[in-house]
Amino acid sequence: MAESGDSIAFRPLGSADIPLLARWLDDPEVGRWYDEGGSTLEYLTPLYAPVIAGDDPNRAFIVLIEGAAAGYVQAVPIDAFPAYAAQLRLEAGAVGIDLYIGEAAFRGRGLGALILSRFTEDVVFGLMRAPLAVIGPDPTNRRAVRCYEEAGFAWIKTVDVVDDDSPHNSGTEYLMIRRADDGFRTRPQYGG
């Protein structure tokens, strides 16, 4: 078994990754829990263009496992979206995380907690220097909730979010947080 640091990495999302995102988002196992409002190249290209260009506050990455593109993860500075921030009512500087494992070969292997833990430590608390990381799965996604707990996140409240600009982002979020100063550091084992 290799340590998570040996097998998981992140590279910034690029234009060449859009077809990969389209394929992943079109997969019913991904689309069931992660909805961008569409999965065609024509829809996703302008949606992600500002993120890729650095003109959007979100930071998006492709998850690499043993060098292979396996999924998607993004860091969302909550304060950059005032309507959303007002609904969540979290402390200043909180950063939200969204992720999915797109490649079926990497699902069901216990990698989600490894990915989330590594991303939280390296990007959210490291690069972005956020005091608080938050993730809001659908409350019925028990598999995700267990995964996020394994990565050190704990439930704080359930919030019904309304996004008038992107209705597909509306819904109930089971808010889970992890603080930069909580002392939780993990390098769970990667089972391969």
CA distances from 73 to 89, 127, 183 (A): 23, 15, 23
Residue 15 placed within a domain: yes
Q: What percent of the chain lies above the pLDDT cut of 70?
A: 89
Assign 62 to helix, strand or coil.
strand
Number of domains in the chain: 1
pLDDT in tens, the chain (192 residues): 233 445 899 999 999 999 999 999 999 999 888 878 788 899 999 999 999 999 999 999 999 999 999 999 999 999 999 999 999 999 999 999 999 999 999 998 889 999 999 999 999 999 999 999 999 999 999 999 999 999 999 999 998 888 777 666 667 889 999 999 887 665 444 443
Residue 191 placed within a domain: no
pTM above 0.85, yes or no: yes
Name the residue range of residue 121's domain.
Answer: 2-186
Alpha carbons 189 and 114: distance in angstroms, whole number: 8
Residue 123 placed within a domain: yes
pLDDT at 47: 93
Query: 9: number of CA atoms within 13 Å, CB side?
Result: 9
Neighbours of 16 (CB within 10 A): 9
Q: Point out which residues pair with 99 in neighbouring strands.
A: 73
CATH number for the domain including 30? 3.40.630.30
CA distances from 10 to 41, 51, 68, 160 (A): 22, 15, 10, 31
